[in-house]
Amino acid sequence: MAVYTDVSFEDLERLLEQYDIGQPLSFKGIAEGIENSNFYLQTDRGAFILTLYEKRVVSEDLPFFLGLMEHLARAGVHCPLPVKTRDGTALVQLNRRNGAIVTFLTGISLRRPDVAHCAAGGAALAGLHKAGEGFALTRANALGPKGWRPLFESIHGADGIEEELTALMRTALDELEAGWPQGLPSGVIHADFFPDNVLFVKEAVGGIIDFYFACNDYYAYDLAVMLNSWCFEIDGSYNITKGQSVINAYKAARPLSDAEIAALPVLMRGSALRFLLTRTYDWLNPDPNALVRPKDPREYSKKLRFHNKVKHAREYGL
């Protein structure tokens, strides 16, 4: 959660002159997303989110993110639809930042999704994967396997967070680089499909948000990110009932190949390592301008240690 860049009403008024979305009725900085500044905007024509992109989001990637949201929304995915200016562009400039206005989605993110939510989320992830087919732009996964070693090497002092954390990461990295699966079905993935980024209205998915890690990679890797973030309990144990719920709902919409099933334990380790690396880095290098507390890396070292003992996808509920 963060509001980095200040936007006055006067800034907003000038911005809205470029759009045809009515007069502002309410405008508030909201604590959402860790990468960008977000504002809730209500006008006489509807509710919107204004996002200003901070340094972590590279300008060159914005056409991919905004184009993807438009592609997915047109294909029926409940995701924010970028609003175009009168000139037909989705990307604008405000206070020396790139920015965009997207439609506001109703719904609430759950801290602890239950089994029914896991099923709805799993189906939504498969729907997103299918809807992404045919999207013309591509983006490499900057936080995929090739990005892990440079990130690992930029981390200094991890053992101050947890004993032997450096060794845990190094061993996983060596093994994953050697044994990463090849040629699995791939396409557009969300890459950050945490419960935070799925809005529920009762037990139905009302919205999928925060596409700023989206990229092209293995679909089953995205499923692993979801299982890692939806199916562990607060005490650190893996809830296989929730895992089954996610996987069965996903499979019903997009069947998993034998190769994807065989790769699942490795993908689970990989996605745990990815979040362990970024959280460890952010923990040791807090952004002094960030209005956000870094997330605890130890949640993911615990998950990685669990996955290190897993032999077969059955143990995740398959």
Enumerate binding residues for a copy of itself (CB under 8 A): 1, 3, 8-10, 12, 23-32, 40, 42, 106-112, 199, 201-202, 291-292
Q: Which residues pair with 42 in a beta bridge?
A: 26, 47
Which CB, 231 or 263, lies closer to a copy of itself?
A: 231
Question: What's the Cα-to-Cα distance from 15 to each of 4, 101, 124, 175, rounded to whole Å?
Answer: 18, 10, 34, 50
Residue 3 or 215 with smaller CB distance to a copy of itself: 3
Query: Distance from CA of residue 225 to its chain's centroid?
Result: 9
Query: Between 3 and 168, whose beta carbon lies closer to a copy of itself?
Result: 3
End-to-end alpha-carbon separation of the chain, Å?
Answer: 34
**Min. distance of Cβ 108 from a copy of itself in angstroms?**
5
Please give the Cα distance from 82 to 51 (Å, whole number): 10
Question: Least distance in Å: CB of 183 to a copy of itself?
Answer: 39
Q: Radius of gyration (Cα) for the chain, nearest Å?
A: 20
- Residue 269's closest CA among 315, 210, 211? 315
Identify whether the C-beta of residue 110 lies closer than 8 Å to the C-beta of residue 204: no
Least spacing, CB of residue 62 vs a copy of itself, in Å: 23
CB of 44 or CB of 258, closer to a copy of itself: 44
Q: Which of 197, 269, 150, 190 is nearest to 33 (CA)?
A: 197
CA distance 66 to 212: 9
The residue among 3 and 224 lying less far from a copy of itself, judged by its C-beta, is: 3
For residue 1, the minimal CB distance to a copy of itself (Å) is 6
CB of 247 to a copy of itself, least distance (A): 24
- Work out how close the CB of 270 gets to a copy of itself at its nearest, in angstroms, rounded to a whole number: 28
100 DSSP β-pair partners: 51
Min. distance of Cβ 107 from a copy of itself in angstroms?
Answer: 7
Torsion angle of C-alpha atoms 83, 89, 90, 93, degrees rounded to 10: -120
DSSP 154-181: T---GGGTSTTHHHHHHHHHHHHHHH--
Considering the complex, what minimum distance in angstroms separates the CB of residue 50 from a copy of itself? 13
Of 25 and 142, which has the nearer Cβ to a copy of itself? Answer: 25
Output 58 or 201, the one with its CB closest to a copy of itself: 201
Q: From CA 280, how far away is CA 151, in angstroms rounded?
A: 10
Residue with Cβ nearer a copy of itself (63 or 286): 286
Measured between alpha carbons, how far is 147 from 48 in angstroms, rounded to an integer? Answer: 34
Least Cα distance to 184 among 223, 212, 211 occurs for: 223
